[in-house]
Amino acid sequence: MKSGRTDMKPFNSSLSLVGLLMLFILPCHNLQADEDADRARMLKQRGDILPLEQVIQSAMAVKSGQILETELDEEDGRYIYELEILDDRGQVWELELDASTAELIELESED
């Protein structure tokens, strides 16, 4: 009669492999997020972009809901905040706003 331990070895090996992968993947993701935050902070201090809170207020005036994601991009020398918002009906919206003026550039529904 085999003990349950031999049956668990493949699971433990897989779990260990997943754990090792997470050790490498998560720090890279966090490092990127830290770099993005540092870049946004520097741009705000230089006066190139508005504080994110101010951009969020403008976005909420257009489409209220829960913010799922924010991203700062540069397109043709212009900084743009992309925000994903989940509205009260469960619809996800993507808003693009000028990061220096908080002016709405684009609003689209995600299907």
Is residue 26 within 8 A of residue 75, CB to CB? The reply is no
Q: How confident is the model at residue 14 (pLDDT cuts 50, 70, 90)?
A: very low
With a threshold of 0.85, does the pTM exceed it? no
d(CA 31, CA 28): 5
Taking alpha carbons only, the member of 2, 26, 4 closest to residue 12 is: 4
d(CA 86, CA 66): 5
Per DSSP, what are the bridge partners of residue 106?
A: 96
What pLDDT, on the 0 to 100 scale, is given for residue 48?
94
Q: Which residue has the higher pLDDT, 15 or 99?
A: 99
User: What are residue 2's phi and psi, to 5 degrees?
Assistant: -85, 145
Q: What is the mean pLDDT of the chain?
A: 80
